[in-house]
Structure 1
Amino acid sequence: MIKLLLPVLLSAIAFDAAAQAPAAGPSERSPWGIGVAAAVSDSPYAGEGTRVIPIPLLSYEGERFYFRGVTAGWRFVDTATFEFSALAKARFDGFDVDDDLDRGQLARNGIDADLLEDRKRGLDVGVGMEWSGRAGELQLELLTDATDRSGGQEASLQYGYPLRVGGGVLTPIVGATWWSGDMADYYYGTLREEVARGVADYRPGAVTTPHAGVSFFRPLGRTWSLVGSLRYSQLPDAITDSPLVDPGTDGSASMFIGVSRGFTPWWLRRR
């Protein structure tokens, strides 16, 4: 399985920046966007290391409905300073034991890889809120696992302050993400069925992960856009002490850069 934990989050940030950037008037740009990006991330999981991953970009910004990469939303409230949306977001956290993890490192952590199960992808649903003004932008998301992979919940709070730089928008970002015990136990703990096979019992419980970074958006003419971001997450001890994680890990960094082009779908051109 392709590991997309942090790159997916970064793509969502980049699409948010593209959607909000005032560098070009909305009437001048298509609500549809398509492009390609590359992400470099270091995974905390044992032996997974650093990956360079190509990511297709697809976005749509309508009056109510929008789609940004792995996130779809419906705006119930949309004013100049406040937005409230229902959300559905794909979750790519987790791993395939055989493809992603290093058996030797797991063994040094006291874990027999043959006794582990994959941690699967899922779909979260919930709500998102955003406040914007002269003081910056504040975003809050409350999500729950709709596929019952972990049965857990996530809450994330993020603040950004957009700055006009070089014809684009540079947004420094700080925030934190909270995972419920069920979610953290599924992705970074050991499962009950694994413990029954002889794996050490480890459950991190609820965790909060702070992060900081920067996103960038710049229009390139009428149809093209450049998007990018950098992000560093400081992992809590409950995660770094997990036997599924590389020893000595204390954080995780990612870089994302891509280009997107506005376009008109073929079925609309016929009208």
Structure 2
Amino acid sequence: MFRTTLFATLLLPAVAQAQSASPTGDLLPRLDDDRWSIGVAVAARQSPYAGEGTRVRPLPLVTYEGDRIFWRGVSGGVHLFRGDSVTVDAVVAGRFDGFKIKDLGRRELLANGIDAARLEDRDDGLDVGLAASVRGRAGEFKLSALADVTDASGGYEIAAEYARAFKWGRTTLIPGAGVRWMSADLVRYYYGTLDEEVARGVARYAPGSAVVPQVSIAFSRPLGEKWKLLGGLDYKFLPSRITDSPLSEPDSDGSAGLRIGITRSF
């Protein structure tokens, strides 16, 4: 199923920054009726963290769409209501914004005034919440609210997203845009300094909540009857509360991502 397989490619752990997902990957029309798809993908993302460079990760893609239960890459859930144009879901999604201090640049952190030896790793999280989408001829709009239930950050986010699919020969293109509001706890955990770090002499940085806009374009092209090539590009506009962080790469105001994958439907 096109909607879920493309979502799985866009929702990748390589988006290690302020969001757990590329916003427009799930806002797609239902073009196929296949319940299962399996594939592989590679994702590359420009890391916003000091000295980390580009993250490149291969990963499997497994999706399932049932009448009530669905699984889409690193997210899944239950359809609470499923009408012709409106869907309301209870969702669970991985948040892969964490990092290991050893993967960051010690020299770059020192230039930001931080000794890497005094920092803590940041853990990935698991978010649970609700998502509602409205589909029509003009495209699809989605509103979601997710909260961290693993107490990694203890934060939450609210996102509004829009996308529309266009046919170009056998290729489907899906431009989209979205914006996410992230709570102060969420932003501080991944971009601020923690209390235990401050106790070791690290300067306190508590940025507060943040808004992160994003634009993207995704594509899908059939390769025979059951196979598909799919992927996308996105760019996240990072606000000053994130880019001013001593953990962030200097002179960076955004983060670009590229995904490419292949799936087989069943």
Distance 1:247 1:93, change over 3 A: same
Q: 1:231 aligns with which of 203, 220, 234?
A: 234
CA-CA distance at 1:97 after TM superposition: 0.6
Q: 2:255 aligns with which of 252, 257, 265?
A: 252
- Determine the structure 1 residue equivalent to 2:117: 114
SS in 2 for 1:5: coil
Distance 1:55 1:15, change over 3 A: farther
Query: What pairs with 1:1-271 in structure 2 (closer than 5 Å)?
Result: 4-5=15-16, 9-10=21-22, 13-14=24-25, 17=28, 20-22=29-31, 24=32, 26=33, 30-98=34-102, 100-263=103-266
Identity of aligned residues (%): 47
Distance 1:14 1:257, change over 3 A: farther
Superimposed CA distance per residue, residues 212-263 of structure 1 (whole angstroms, 9 cap, x where no aligned partner): 0111123333311222111001100000000000110100000111110123
| C-alpha contact (below 8 Å) 1:150/1:182 kept by paired residues | yes
| C-alpha contact (below 8 Å) 2:161/2:177 kept by paired residues | yes
- Pairs aligned (count): 253
CA-CA distance at 1:96 after TM superposition: 0.5
SS in 1 for 2:71: strand
Q: 5+ unaligned residues in a row in structure 2: which ranges?
A: 1-12
Q: 5+ unaligned residues in a row in structure 1: which ranges?
A: 264-271
| C-alpha contact (below 8 Å) 1:42/1:51 kept by paired residues | yes
Distance 1:157 1:128, change over 3 A: same
The runs of 4+ residues in structure 1 deviating greater than 6 Å are none
One-letter code of the match for 1:260? T
| C-alpha contact (below 8 Å) 2:24/2:216 kept by paired residues | no
- Determine the structure 2 residue equivalent to 1:266: none
Which structure shows the higher helix fraction? 1
Bigger radius of gyration: 1
Mean CA deviation greater in 144-153 or 212-221: 212-221
| C-alpha contact (below 8 Å) 2:24/2:161 kept by paired residues | no
CA-CA distance at 1:3 after TM superposition: 5.1
| C-alpha contact (below 8 Å) 2:14/2:43 kept by paired residues | no
Normalising by structure 2, we get a TM-score of 0.90
